Amino acid sequence: MGSVPSDGTAESPHSLFKILVAGGFGAGKTTLVGAISEVRPLRTEEPLTSASIAFDDLNGVDRKTSTTVAMDFGRITIGSRLVLYLFGTPGQERFWFMWDELAYGALGAVVLADTRRLSDCFPSVDYFEKRELPFVVAINCFDDAIRYDPEEVRVALDLDPRVPTVLCDARQVGSVKQVLITLVEHVLANRPKGGSDARPAPVTEV
């Protein structure tokens, strides 16, 4: 059951924030969201676009005109009036129809990188750069992966020097917490001054 935390009065002010967790298949999105919050699947049913038809095997399903996408959905309650909603999003370009919606009004994003398949997170990095949505790159330290310095990863991803790049263990709540803190610090530090700026920002006040 997931009601917005309430002290009994529906009028009490809550601020809700959306944070996206992106990255390639198997980069640890589900693990990360699950480490810090109760995680539940969130299904969407979307029309098949020509872009996705190239990827989906439609043999024998010629009448299928929609596809189901499952996201990982987690919620972190902070104190009595702040709630962070985490959305683990499929990292492939074919799901961009969903990303636009997710990114709208989002506080920022975490791009999970797996150094064994670094190129998997290119589309996510490109997307957030284009949307000008603040993001951090979190390098998930898999036990059997060679450790790279975050600076090496930054160079490999050709990241703006201002984008934080951190090592993390997506299984550890403390580590995931630090990733989120880094993201919020980044958002705070790069907040446009005197802003009628239209960058996507947190969205809901209850």
Partner 1 sequence: MGADDKWLDRDSGPVVRPYAVTGGRTEPADGEVLDLIAVVVVTHRGGGPDEAGLSPEHRRIMTLCERPVTVADVAADTGLPLGVVRVLLADLTQQGRISVLPQRRADEQPSADLLKEVLHGLRAL
| One of 48, 118, 166, 203 touching partner 1 (CB under 8 A) | 203
Q: Does 156 bind partner 1 (CB under 8 A)?
A: no
> Does residue 4 interact with partner 1 by CB under 8 A?
yes
Q: Applying CB under 8 A, does 94 fall inside the site for partner 1?
A: no
**Nearby residues of 62 by Cβ (< 8 Å), 6 or more positions away:** none
Applying CB under 8 A, among 48, 118, 156, 206 the residue interacting with partner 1 is 206
Query: Any alpha helices (H) in 44-172, and if so which ranges?
Result: 50-53, 96-103, 122-131, 150-157
Distance CA 148, CA 140 (A): 11
Q: Which residues contact 60 (CB under 8 A, 6 or more apart)?
A: none
Site map for partner 1, 34-73, x if CB under 8 A?
Answer: --x---xxxxxxx-------------xx--x-x-x----x
> 119 burial class (0-12, 13-18, 19+ CB within 10 angstroms)?
exposed
> Residue 52 or residue 114: which is nearer to partner 1 going by CB?
52
Based on the shown chain and the rule CB under 8 A, indicate whether residue 195 belongs to the binding site for partner 1.
yes
Beta carbon nearer to partner 1, 132 or 151: 132
The reply on whether position 101 binds partner 1 by CB under 8 A is yes
Q: How many CB atoms lie within 10 A of CB 34?
A: 20
**Please, what is the minimum distance in Å from the beta carbon of residue 169 to partner 1?**
16
Q: Which is nearer to partner 1, 161 or 192 (CB)?
A: 192
Q: Nearest-CA neighbor of 179 among 143, 144, 150, 148?
A: 150
Nearer to partner 1, 145 or 173 (CB): 173
Q: What is the rounded distance in angstroms from the CA atom of residue 114 to the CA atom of residue 118?
A: 6
Question: Any residues with CB less than 8 A from the CB of 77 and at least 6 apart, and which?
Answer: 5, 83
- Tokens representing 95 are 């799901």
Give me the residues that bind partner 1 (CB under 8 A), please: 1-4, 6, 10, 14-18, 36, 40-46, 60-61, 64, 66, 68, 73, 75-76, 78-79, 82, 84-85, 87, 101-102, 104-105, 107, 173, 177, 180-181, 184-185, 187-188, 191-192, 195, 197-206
